[in-house]
Structure 1
Amino acid sequence: MGRSARKAELPDLGMLATRLLFGLQGELFRISAEHGFGDLRPQHGAVLAHLDEDGLRQNELTRLAGRNKQTIGAILDELEKLGYVERVPDPADRRAKLVMPTGRGLELMRLSDRIVADIENRYAQKVGREDYEAFLRTLRAITD
């Protein structure tokens, strides 16, 4: 049996993680587009996944996303032009800027949270709530 047949029969961690990510991401962006957010692309998810109602500094977004400063800066520039975020002075340090979601950004955050919760509920129904919770605990332990 060749490698591709073996991997088709028993996919490795990388293949499974890719299927999980692309499946979730595809559904998230498809449904978001159906609700008027068709201007977003998957790379925007590096920032959108970590947006906070109270705002975050760019360096914190960079750390959370695990990307470099230039990449996050470029994504923020795009999201700002699209009307999802704005950079405002940080009240704790006027020299710093907070990345804040706009009204459109907040609307997207609420929708995204609902979509992900629906996906997670569907997965939990498929394998059982206990097994799904155990899967999440294990995945968190592996990825920490």
Structure 2
Amino acid sequence: MTSRAQRNRTNPDLGVLAGRLLFAVQNELFTALAAKGYDDLLPRHGAVLAYLDAEGVRATDLARLSGQHKQVIGTLVDELERLGYVQRHPDPADRRAKLVCPTERGLEQMKAAEKIMNALQERHARRLGRDAFAQFKAAFMDVVEHQRRAVAKKS
């Protein structure tokens, strides 16, 4: 029988592969952000920052998009608000709701993160070839969405 460690070296499952990719991307992104002066951000903040729009996003939408519980998103928004990256504003479409909006520092961080992620993806596209990388991303997105739908059906 193959050990779990051996299997993870030679034929890792989707969870292991996705985790390795996530942690490697987060490590590169947050290390580069820290070098640009955003050293107060942590990988967990990515659950909010990755889905933040300049116009603002409702916390319930951040939870849905990131797959995190609303309470986790609320805690992360509180942290990012204390750090000066976001502010809560009334949603003009529904005065009962709040939008999580980036501050000037938040907008600057978003631009820096986008440049870092574009460079990371460009590196992989050059390595694999643009067509192969585009096919990989399309297949990966399909697997992710199929998995999310399967989990949603069970909830």
Normalising to structure 1: TM-score of the pair?
0.95
What is the match of residue 52 of structure 1?
Answer: 53
Paired with 1:11 and 1:67, the residues of 2 have a C-alpha distance of 24
Range 98-107 or range 14-23, more displaced? 14-23
Please, which runs of 5 or more residues in structure 2 have no aligned partner? 146-155
Code of the residue aligned with 1:5 in structure 2: it is: Q
What is the match of residue 96 of structure 2?
Answer: 95
Secondary structure in 1 matching 2:40:
coil
Code of the residue aligned with 2:120 in structure 1: it is: I
Paired with 1:72 and 1:58, the residues of 2 have a C-alpha distance of 7
Please, which runs of 5 or more residues in structure 1 have no aligned partner? none
Paired with 1:25 and 1:7, the residues of 2 have a C-alpha distance of 21
Render the CA deviation track for 1:44-88: whole Å, top value 9, x for unaligned: 110000000111111111111111111100000000000000001
Which residues of 2 match residues 58-73 of structure 1 at below 5 A?
58-73=59-74
What is the match of residue 132 of structure 1?
Answer: 133
Render the CA deviation track for 1:101-140: whole Å, top value 9, x for unaligned: 0000000100111111100000111111111000000011
What is the match of residue 20 of structure 1?
Answer: 21
| Identical counterparts, % of pairs | 50
Paired with 1:98 and 1:22, the residues of 2 have a C-alpha distance of 29
Code of the residue aligned with 2:46 in structure 1: it is: G
Normalising to structure 2: TM-score of the pair?
0.88
Structure 1 residues 67 and 6, CA, compared in 2 at 3 Å: closer, same or farther? closer
Structure 1 residues 93 and 5, CA, compared in 2 at 3 Å: closer, same or farther? closer
Alignment RMSD (CA, Å): 1.2
**Higher relative CO (CA 8 A, sep ≥ 6), structure 1 or 2?**
1
Secondary structure in 2 matching 1:125:
helix
Code of the residue aligned with 1:52 in structure 2: it is: D
Structure 1 residues 20 and 91, CA, compared in 2 at 3 Å: closer, same or farther? same
Range 94-103 or range 74-83, more displaced? 94-103
